[in-house]
Chain A
Amino acid sequence: MNNIIEVRNLVKQFELTSKLGLQTHCVKAVNGVSFDVPEGETLGLVGESGCGKTTTGKLILRLVKPTSGEIYLEGKDINKISKKEMRRIRKDIQVVFQNPYAALDPKMTVADILSEPLSIHRIVFKYDYDKEVKRLLNLVGLSEKDAKKFPHEFSGGQRQRIGIARAIATRPKFIICDEPVSALDVSVQSQILNLLNDLQKELKVSYLFIAHGLNVIRHMSDKVGVMYLGKIVEIGRVEDIFNNPMHPYTKVLLNSAPIPDPTIIRERQAIKGEVPSPITPPSGCSFHPRCNIAMEICKNKSPELIKINEGHKAACHFCSAE
């Protein structure tokens, strides 16, 4: 299978200056991330707040500039291409945001919102805009009459549909979905998840699906990357991660999610402390202060991602394949 996106050793370091301008810190928001997203598949990225999920998405969108590392779209390094090719990349990589309220211009009608990418990227001729807007609205389950309305006339779920329609307007190959349902009502979330899955089948688009909810990640992903303090600590097919987690952090995450079934009494594995500040990450394996099987080596040496099985990797000194 062909990879649409390949990310290699991506690093993003933010410089922070203290209020008085005396000290500067640097935050390694993304610290050596690599993954592939094959055609028509979904890579889920999961992890706790501040672990670098959103920054990873923004790097691929070129909304922030990487400190180092490469991003390939269909084999081409997107940081080393001409202006003209850049246009094409903007069209091929789209995004759906978490907050459908903030993401849409309140003064524009839905027709305007959807026509904008059509004109910028010259997707269809101008006299076909109306027809194309209608087609997009139908695709995302809205009515043709909605074209004349403004964003405030819609509920959160409907606004997210508009956001999705705008993302698919340019007929992209790759869409970054950053927490697309976490701001929505529970009874509306599954509509949007189903819509994203249907569109994927129909349009053969690939997704980077970012979420902190493990149940949503399990449902949406083909492959899953688990992030902790800027690094992928485990990556594999969705079954590998959920049925055979190897990294201690993945195990804790899976163990923490509450189970909606009162007959199950769960043995909870306690975890020490909270996520440390990315400004002062712990030495060695950055999970070591919270890890219940940490040894001396973990404080000194950072573990590499090593192969457990075909397509399944984990970064821990004590979880090599038997």
Chain B
Amino acid sequence: MKGLLEIKDLKTYFYLDKQAVKAVDGVSFHINRNETLAIVGESGSGKSVTALSIMRLIETPGKIISGEIHFNNVNIAKLSSKQMTMLRGNRISMIYQDPMQSLNPAISVGEQIREALIIHKAVPRKESKKRALELMSLVSIPEAQHRYKDIQSKFSGGMRQRIMTAMAIACNPDLLIADEPTTALDVTIQSEIMDLLKSLKQQLSMSMLLITHDLGIVAENADRVIIMYCGKIMEEANVRDLFERPKHPYTIGLMKCIPRIQDNVDVLYSIPGYIPNASQYSEACRFHERCEKAMDICRQKEPELIEIEEGHKVRCWLYCNK
């Protein structure tokens, strides 16, 4: 197996009104040790469902219908839910966009961190409070001693995200999944949280799966990047190649359509049309209705994801020698 995590042909569908919504539709990728892999995509592209599939947190009407998820040489798609509970929050943890909903409103934040330690038997019970305090300092919560007993509503959004991070790293996980960790935060706080995650990743030698729609955050934090669109990977490359030599028409469009602080243009490029409805995908390339380069074959058949240079993969007929 490749790296720390390797996913092969993952399909996760949601069954609504007898229709299958193909949220993740044949996704394969890997994450190396100590690496940050970013998944970029718009709402509905399948980023979060990919993450929740790895965590095995997909609930009905959703279902992982096929695929393998190898983590540390174990196929976690096959683990019992009891085995999975031992892994989750221990070897793999996740932080979410909205820390408010993930923290218990009634229990002090210090106790919640301590509980995470006790559940996974990370430290002897006697030492758990001391360790919880250490974790609070590690994520830079000022005056941790004093704040241990406070409940979450006494903290600002940025501080809550730090607390959730402390819980997530409590057991020194191998993989931290961060799903839009800063989207709900103000810009000045965003950059602090990203810096915190970066330094924790180094200190604890974790790998990170970073989910975001913000190309600025990707450029500053990722080693490698996956671009998802409509449940499929459209392009995969290391971060420099992706920004310097994007190949897929969708990636190129995304890069051109975001306004930039550094150089302002009069008229922004815009990708025509809208994202297609997830229950109505055809056999065609999922981007063809919006693609300026679309050819006949694009409307008939979907291209494969192929490697065109070392580590650089693209799903587009322009790069296939048909």
Contacts and interface: CB of A to CB of B under 8 A. Distances in A.
B43 interface: yes
Contact of B267 (A197, A242, A264, A271): A197
A260 B259 contact: no
A274 B217 CA distance: 20
A230 B250 CA distance: 40
Contacts of B191: 256, 258, 268
A240 B171 CA distance: 49
A185 B215 contact: no
Chain B CB count within 10 A is highest, among A187, A197, A259, for A187
B268 A212 contact: no
A168 B213 CA distance: 31
B259 A259 contact: no
A305 interface: no
Given A215-B261, A219-B264, A274-B159, A259 B219 contact: yes
A158 to B, nearest CB: 7
Contacts of B275: 155, 185, 187-188
Given A158-B274, A258-B191, A193 B261 contact: no
Interface in A178-205: 185-191, 193-194, 197
A257 B259 contact: no
Contact of B268 (A219, A252, A260, A263): A219
Interface residues of B, number: 48
A266 interface: yes
B270 A219 contact: no
B240 to A, nearest CB: 5
A187 B291 CA distance: 12
Contacts of B42: 185-187
A214 interface: yes
A215 B215 CA distance: 12
B243 A187 contact: no
B9 interface: no
Given A191-B270, A258-B219, A218 B187 contact: no
Given A214-B187, A253-B187, A190 B195 contact: no
A21 interface: no
Interface in A99-152: none
User: Chain A interface residue count: which class?
Assistant: 35 or more
A258 B220 contact: yes
Interface string A153-165: 0010110000000
Interface in A221-268: 242, 252-254, 256-264, 266, 268
Contacts of B290: 187
Nearest to A193: B268
A218 B264 contact: yes
Nearest to A47: B186
Nearest to B269: A190
A46 to B, nearest CB: 10
B254 to A, nearest CB: 6
B26 interface: no
A294 interface: no
Given A218-B264, A258-B219, 16 more contacts: A48-B186, A49-B186, A185-B213, A189-B258, A190-B259, A190-B269, A191-B271, A191-B272, A194-B267, A212-B186, A212-B187, A215-B259, A256-B187, A257-B216, A259-B220, A259-B262
Closest 5 CB pairs of A and B: A258-B216, A219-B259, A48-B186, A190-B257, A185-B42
